[in-house]
Amino acid sequence: MFVGWRDLRFAKGRFALMGTVIVLITLLVGLLSGLTAGLGRQNVSAITGLPADRIAFDVPSAGQSLSYSGTTVTESQWRRWSAVDGVTSAEPLGITTTRATSGDRSAGVSVFGVRPGSALAPDGARTRDGSVVLSTGAADGLGLHSGGTLTLAGRKLHVTAVAGDASFSHTPVIWTSLDTWRAAAPTAAAAPGGPTASVIALRTTGGVDTKAADLAAGTRTVTKGDSLSAIGSYTSENGSLQLMRGFLFAISALVIGAFFTVWTIQRRGDVAVLKALGASTASLLRDALGQAVVLLTAGTLIGTAGAAAVGAALAGTAVPFLVTPTTVVLPAAVIILLGACGAALAIRRITSVDPLTALGSAR
Amino acid sequence: MSLNLTGVTLIYPDGDSRLTALDDVTLDVPPSTLTAVVGPSGSGKSSLLAVAATLITPGTGTVSIDATDTTGMSRRELTDLRRRKIGMVFQQPNLLPSLTALEQLQVVAVLDGRSPAAALPRARELLDAVGLAGEAGRRPHQLSGGQRQRVNIARALMNDPTVLLVDEPTSALDHERGRAVVDLIVRLTRLRGTATVLVTHDTTHLAAADRIAEVRDGRIGHHTGIERAS
């Protein structure tokens, strides 16, 4: 990269301009990635944190897709699943979103009803009828500690513990008993045949025949990961943010490709001279691609550091921003990879430069 | 060690017809001699130089460098040959804007797989030989036209070539500077033992040549026999 390094030092202005663009795109992608992950966690952490690998839903009506809201399973469905070979645990789980109040404070919460002592709740032994275990988000929102009281659907409930930071559909989770959940969930009261819960959280071994069990129980079972699309806002919200991120990746590749296209066109004369002096096309391509990768790496590192710094500054605030290797390192690697692809497409023009043009007075 | 063109014919497509740029050209340039190639515009001088530089493969005939026939060589072999055996002095200096005078020479060694540091002594020696030892750290825009042309010449000699091809080196210089450049080329030809071809339109430089080949309509009309090879 003898010439490439010297070009970088010589044409400082041009490369600084392009580097700044890369820094800004990387910063934007990093911020969007952190926000996507943070919002995603606010949406699904209560589900992804469940000690279960599959979720059984009641079969939806024709034309309807699975949904955590407005669905119920019955006690008989739960009992059938409990008896299925290969199922080590079948726990009914009631879910509803409502408002809880404590003194003059009020907050939207997701009420998760479980059986007393269920492993689904972070402190299952304390989820008795008439009492609740709050997630930290709910406790902060309502200004409550262990031993306090809150009002949910007209009932006063005792806070037995504050544990975990689970949230569901952007609301913090309150863990309580299934009876208390039933009192708060309008769908539970309306469902026929003795509603027990919203879904059944299953822990299974490899040998379980879910199709047969679904047929017998009248349920539809999906993996825990697939069940996330049954959270109303998650698919559309996550899809929109991922689409934006995808566009930013594409834009970064196009912008870098455009820059190096112009740069390569400007350098055609120099490339012709180097070829006439005996430079192989491969060595010239290596030099040019190395130059692009140096620029990309430097710009991406600065942009990523900026995104991580913003993420650190936002930690503990209301902004749902998550800084992890997946939200910081992965987007940076993708930008470098796509940018290098864009640059590679641009610098391929080097192959078509004719060294003959170095002769004569045409230059 | 020499450059030898035998029966070289080069025909370009020219619209619906074909243009004969070189017609059965034979030229022998022994080592340590300078052959001046003269002729009117469009006569085939540049085509002759391009063929000798292996940048164009002739339709018929052979081009030999160091008694090695280059016709039939692959593009990669020709690139290697050009790098190791042929020095080119371009009409315009064609220096790379981001490199200093010293680096313009080092880059030639780097293209040949050597390290810039290893090439440093020779690059300095050549810059000294062309009288630019004090300008080693300057970039092209910081050099005068004559200085740029001298860097161009030094660069052509960096890989110790057998053949030195010089294309109108004085076209952008005034007479005095042009004369100094030609004198430098003659001196280096003798010193380095290169087989040098100097394409020029300036007849005042012909006195410095050992041989003069006049090109007209793609043919070498005659060699002027100023046989003054050493």
pLDDT in tens, B142-165: 999 889 988 998 999 898 899 999
B225 pLDDT band (50/70/90 cuts)? low
CA dist A2 and A355 (Å) reads 19
CA dist B166 and B169 (Å) reads 6
Structure tokens at B168: 């109108």
Test B55 with A10 for CB contact under 8 angstroms: no
Q: Does A105 touch chain B (CB under 8 A)?
A: no
Across the range B103-109, mean pLDDT stands at: 95
**Does position A195 have pLDDT exceeding 70, yes or no?**
no
Across the range B56-62, mean pLDDT stands at: 91
CA distance A356 to chain B (A): 6
CA dist B122 and A223 (Å) reads 70
pLDDT score for A188: 61
**Does position B226 have pLDDT exceeding 60, yes or no?**
no
Q: Name the least confident of A66-70, A155-159, B104-108.
A: A66-70
Spatial neighbors of B62 by CB under 8 A, at least 6 apart, are: B4, B5, B6, B7, B8, B69, B70, B71
pLDDT score for A360: 61
A121 pLDDT band (50/70/90 cuts)? confident
Across the range A125-152, mean pLDDT stands at: 88
pLDDT score for A362: 43
**Does position A128 have pLDDT exceeding 90, yes or no?**
no
A56 pLDDT band (50/70/90 cuts)? very high
Test A276 with B84 for CB contact under 8 angstroms: no
Could you report the per-residue pLDDT of A218-270, keeping only the tens digit for each? 999 999 999 999 997 888 888 899 999 999 999 988 999 999 999 999 989 99
Spatial neighbors of A355 by CB under 8 A, at least 6 apart, are: A272, A273, A275, A276, B55
Test B83 with A279 for CB contact under 8 angstroms: yes
**Does position A348 have pLDDT exceeding 60, yes or no?**
yes
**Does position B227 have pLDDT exceeding 80, yes or no?**
no
pLDDT score for B217: 86
Q: Name the least confident of A121-125, A193-197, B37-41, B185-189.
A: A193-197
Q: List the single residue in B76, B94, B107 with the smallest CB-CB distance to A363.
A: B94
Residues 171-200 of chain B with CB under 8 A from chain A are 171
B228 pLDDT band (50/70/90 cuts)? very low
Across the range B55-73, mean pLDDT stands at: 91
Across the range A3-22, mean pLDDT stands at: 93
| Residue of chain A nearest B95, judged by CA positions | A270
Q: Does A290 touch chain B (CB under 8 A)?
A: no
Q: Does B148 touch chain A (CB under 8 A)?
A: no
| Bridge pairing between strands B60-65 and B33-38 | unpaired
**Does position B222 have pLDDT exceeding 70, yes or no?**
no
Structure tokens at B86: 């042929």
pLDDT score for A109: 94
Across the range A48-77, mean pLDDT stands at: 89
Q: Does B207 touch chain A (CB under 8 A)?
A: no
Across the range A150-157, mean pLDDT stands at: 89
Across the range A94-120, mean pLDDT stands at: 91
pLDDT score for A5: 92
Q: Does B98 touch chain A (CB under 8 A)?
A: yes
CA dist A58 and A46 (Å) reads 20
Q: Are A159 and A146 in contact (CB under 8 A)?
A: yes
| Residue of chain A nearest B108, judged by CA positions | A277
Mean pLDDT of chain A: 89
A358 to chain B: which residues are within 8 Å by CB? 88, 90, 94
Crossing angle between the packed helical segments A12-48 and A232-266, to the nearest 10 degrees: 160
Could you report the per-residue pLDDT of A285-341, keeping only the tens digit for each? 999 999 999 999 999 999 999 999 998 888 777 788 888 888 889 999 999 999 999
Q: Which residue has better confidence, A361 or A301?
A: A301
B17 pLDDT band (50/70/90 cuts)? confident
Test A2 with B110 for CB contact under 8 angstroms: yes
**Does position B60 have pLDDT exceeding 70, yes or no?**
yes
A279 to chain B: which residues are within 8 Å by CB? 79, 83, 111
Percent of chain A clearing pLDDT 90 (strictly above): 60
**Does position B99 have pLDDT exceeding 90, yes or no?**
yes
CA dist A40 and A56 (Å) reads 22
pLDDT score for B104: 96
Across the range B41-65, mean pLDDT stands at: 90
Across the range B48-58, mean pLDDT stands at: 91
pLDDT score for A191: 52
pLDDT score for A323: 85
A361 pLDDT band (50/70/90 cuts)? very low
Best of A273, A275, A286 to substitute, by most chain B Cβ atoms within 10 angstroms, is: A273
First to last CA, chain A: 24
A93 pLDDT band (50/70/90 cuts)? very high
B229 pLDDT band (50/70/90 cuts)? very low
Structure tokens at B60: 């018929």
Domains and CATH numbers, chain B: 3-94+160-224 (3.40.50.300)
Test B103 with A361 for CB contact under 8 angstroms: no
Mean pLDDT of chain B: 88
Q: List the single residue in B56, B84, B107 with the smallest CB-CB distance to A2.
A: B107
**Does position A100 have pLDDT exceeding 90, yes or no?**
yes
Test A9 with B110 for CB contact under 8 angstroms: no
Q: How many CB atoms lie within 10 A of CB A266?
A: 11
CA dist A27 and A23 (Å) reads 6
CA dist A113 and A287 (Å) reads 63
DSSP characters for A232-283? HHHHHHHHHHHHHHHHHHHHHHHHHHHHHHHHHHHTHHHHHHHHHTT--HHH
Q: Which residue has better confidence, A220 or A184?
A: A220
pLDDT score for A343: 92
